[in-house]
Structure 1
Amino acid sequence: MRIALPVDPGLKTASEVATIEFVRQETDMPLPNTLAFDCSNQNILGFEWVLMEYVRGRPLESGWRDIPMSKKAEISESARYALGAMVEVAFFWGDRGHQRLARGPFKNSYEWLLTRLSLVIEEKAKILATTKDKDAMEDAEDSKSIAAQLVHILPSIIPPEDNEQSIIVHNDLSTNNILINDAGDPIAVVDWECVSALPLLRACQYPQLLTGTIQHRKPDIEEYGIGDLY
């Protein structure tokens, strides 16, 4: 059971539930079933909540070194809804959830990046107006200046009138959020809160489970210490 703080009231829970169901219908990704949920805080708990199926498995992180390379390769390869306001940490962190700003859906990378840069400029301007710390002011001034320059050149990099496809990006696709059974088969991908439909440029990166130290040869388990095995 997931109980959510009111960081983005209503939308955060509704987005998580809708994203899971959309991915279930459009892909063959293994996902836990949503049994019940409440997007409001008008209930006995006083918070939004989601009740999900319990999946009997263990995080991929704890079993990664035990499963064969063939299983690792399988894991690595592995409508009725509408796009709405962006439910992403950058849009509700701090007091941003109460600000009047464009929250999407965005038609292209230009609109999305412009909003993100505008958030930076506004945040740094607020710091400059409220702090007397010299280092903080210098950092805020530099960040604000860089963001303003990026806003100026953005139209020359990404045409504002272009229409682009978006893609659902699970921003925490780590080995902790992929559950496997004893045979090493993936049985569920979990933690779908704050998963958003983002510009295609956000898809041009490796998921967290495939990032880390570059290995030029197959790891030898005999070379690892006890603390490195889990």
Structure 2
Amino acid sequence: MHIDTAISSRKSVRRFLDTPVERATIMHILQVASRTPSGSNIQPWKVHVVAGTAKDQLCQRLLDTVDHGKSDPPEYHYYPQNWFEPYLDRRRRCGFGLYATLGISRDDKAKREAQARRNFHFFDAPVGLFITMDRRLETGSFMDCGMFIQSIMLTARGQGLHTCPQAAFAWYHTLIRDELKLDENSLLLCGIALGYEDTQAPENGFITERESAESFTTFYGF
């Protein structure tokens, strides 16, 4: 797959088929992604892959915790503490667009919560990945890990797979750290659902908008 096609066809898939993904395919994706650049080549990322009974057990613990209304204070702020434009409007259009695609009204709290709950079994994907880094590292390593996550998603497209990056897991870092036996310096950044897209699912037809390159680019000396 040409890199342009991989980038333009990548999307957040929110319903997967139960078709297994071979371990060799996962290792290929991660090996290619290992070529991601990082400051001074420190390669700060760690990957924890769950599937089968290990994934089922972890997801059940997560769902039980979610259903009891428990969560952790975040260890890092993914979003601004006080939203402002144009970012607030973009976020709202994304959320409202997804729920509209699913036929969920803005005031249907039960269905909105049920959809959000699906995060915690990786939207039915057969494979889940957790990305961590050492909490003693600095902001530059967040940038490095972001590029690594993108590399995983694009390499997955090259294998005919889809993904969904999921920050939602960061609010359950204590449980995940316990389940995966991670050390205290492991900072959970996000999860990634990995598998084959259910092309019949309406939510997978929702494609988010993008600003034109002209709107965010300034040229100098041209």
Normalising by structure 1, we get a TM-score of 0.19
Normalising by structure 2, we get a TM-score of 0.19
Q: Hey, which of these two has a bigger chunk of helix by percent?
A: 2
Does 1 or 2 have the higher relative contact order (CA < 8 Å, sep 6+)? 2
